[in-house]
Amino acid sequence: MSISAQTYAESLIQTGLEPEFVMQNLNTVKEIIESSTELQDTIKNPSIKIDTKFEIINEIFKTHIDEKIINFLKILISKDRFLQINEIIDAYSNKTKLRSEERRVGKECRS
């Protein structure tokens, strides 16, 4: 797993949103992206302006996911990392599972 995917996953954790909520949002993003090669082609097309890509993202996702996640997607677009979303989702899932397990073990040790 790339360092950039881990870094972006960590930034998602820092949003303060509940991990389950974030995963629901990310899974929605993943489903929509995977179902639309046109969206994938548009996002990776360097001749399309970033502002246009942002408008497309807003239009597609505004009724499906949280605004913080939409803003996160815009960051990925601006950094040319949008198509790494699956790797970022995997990294986020791994990090949140690990933290949850660490908290569970910590509670057991205190009991």
Q: With bands split at pLDDT 50, 70 and 90, how would you rate the model's confidence at 110? A: low
Distance, in Å, from the CA atom of 31 to the CA atom of 34, rounded to the nearest integer, reads: 5
For 68-104, what is each residue's pLDDT tens digit? 999 999 999 999 999 899 999 999 999 998 877 777 6
For 11-36, what is each residue's pLDDT tens digit? 999 988 999 999 999 999 999 999 99
- pTM for this one? 0.87
Q: Quickly list H helices, the chain.
A: 3-13, 19-35, 37-44, 50-61, 67-78, 85-110
Q: How many CB atoms lie within 10 A of CB 36?
A: 13
